[in-house]
Structure formats: structure tokens, C-alpha cells
Amino acid sequence: MKKRIPFYLAALVLILLAVAFFLPISDFSWEGSSLYSDEELEEMLFPDTLSRSVAVTWLRERFSAHRRFPLIEKYTVSFTGLRSVSVRIYEKSLAGYLAFQEYCLYFDWDGYLVESSTQVIPGVLRITGLEPDHAVLGSRLPVRSQEIFSIILTVSQFLKTNLAEVNGEEVLLADVTDEIRFSGSSVSVIFGEIRVDLGTREYLEQKLGLMADILPELAGRSGTLSLENYDPSAVRPGYIFK
């Protein structure tokens, strides 16, 4: 004969479930986001009373898929207390953005469009000269050659990992870059009043290194630094600035 659960125990379980259902999360901590503020993330991930419920959040983490957001690869939610959670954000890696009509089109390293916004996201490099005639979220940007995205990767990674002396202090090159500009198969990098013409993909890494060495000498000046004819066999590679 099966034992029956006492009525008071069943009632207690139901009461606890009801309390958990209506008990809201009161404290959020956030990690991993550079694209959104804490307030924006809270509004996106926990927009209403139901989504802030302790019980609903617990059940969703174990039995349901997360909502999808354009610039977020995934996120995890961990309870750190009865009414507190820690949220870890894993952002999509953005290669850059280009202006298209009144929008900023953000794309990844493979050239897929992941977000369209009227807002400029800090830290994402501006790319010009690609001039697509259309753009579709989730699809690759229609450009002349897919090698362009390989060039963007090489240039962007260099700018984001190398320092140069500007006005007496060392700064990350990406922080003083205004745009990466394409003209046909040639690429240039714009730093305020200075344009650096790097030419084609050939010897691109070496040209970038030379650019970083020369830039401190050009502080306060304006003009074009021409490195497109870089010759690695030269004893002392020269350059033209005018």
C-alpha cells in the first residue's frame, strides 16, 4: 500500500512554490559585457515581473533555451543567493562596422552581418569604402572579394594589440584610429589628419610594423604616409610622407 504525502506537507510545498514564483530577484551582478551597460542588460534579459521571478529564472536555466540577442553569443545565470544572481555575458566578436544609409552595420570576422543600429558602439572600428548595395542580417556582406575580411582581421588585430607613442604617451593604436579605408584592393588607416596607405595584402604585417615605428615621428603633422611600395629586401626601407 502506497504511503500518502500528508496534507500539510503538500500544502507547504505548494506555498513554497508560490512564494518562489512571486519572489523577485533583487540583486544582479554582471560580467563580460563591454557593449551594453548593466541597466541595458537588465532591461533586455529581465524585462518584466515574470522574467525576474526566482522560480521562473531557476526553471528557465535548467529546462529552457535562452532568448537570442544580436550581439550576445550566449549568457549564463547563476544564483548567488535566494534573490541574487550573477550573469556572465559572452559577446560576439565584432570585426567592424560600416555606415549604410542611416545605420551602422556591424559584422563578424567572416563578414556576416550581426547587427544593424543607429548607435556607434565604442571600441568597434569603422570600415569605409566597401559600399554594399544591400545588406541582410545573418548574411554575408556583398563585397568585391572575401579576402577583404582577412585584411580587416590582420589590420584590426594589429591595431588592438600594439602601442605607439602619441603626444608623449603610449596609447593603443586602435584607440586613436578613426577608420580603416578600402579603395579597390588597397587599404589605408586613418589617424586624425594622418592617412597611412598600406596598399594590398602583400607584406601587410611588415608594413603595419613600420607604420607603428614611424607614427611617433609624425605627431602634430598632417598628410599621407605612403607604405604601399614597401620593399622588404631594402637595407633601410624608406617611406614618403607628404
- pLDDT on residue 64: 81
pTM above 0.75, yes or no: no
- pLDDT on residue 111: 87
Q: Which residue has the higher pLDDT, 120 or 22?
A: 120
Query: CA-CA distances (angstroms) from residue 70 to 67, 73, 94, 120, 160?
Result: 10, 8, 11, 15, 23
- pLDDT on residue 109: 85
Domain map of the chain by residue range? 7-91, 96-241
Q: How many other β-carbons are positioned within 10 Å of the β-carbon of residue 4? A: 8
Instruction: Encode pLDDT of 111-148 as tens digits.
Output: 888 888 888 888 889 999 988 878 888 888 888 787 88
Q: Fold for domain 96-241? A: Rossmann fold (3.40.50)
Give the CA angle between residues 197, 203, 207 to the nearest 5°. Answer: 45
Query: CA-CA distances (angstroms) from residue 41 to 64, 73, 102?
Result: 19, 14, 25
- Alpha-carbon distance of 123 to 128, in angstroms, equals 16
Mean pLDDT of 2-29: 65
Mean pLDDT, all residues of the chain = 84
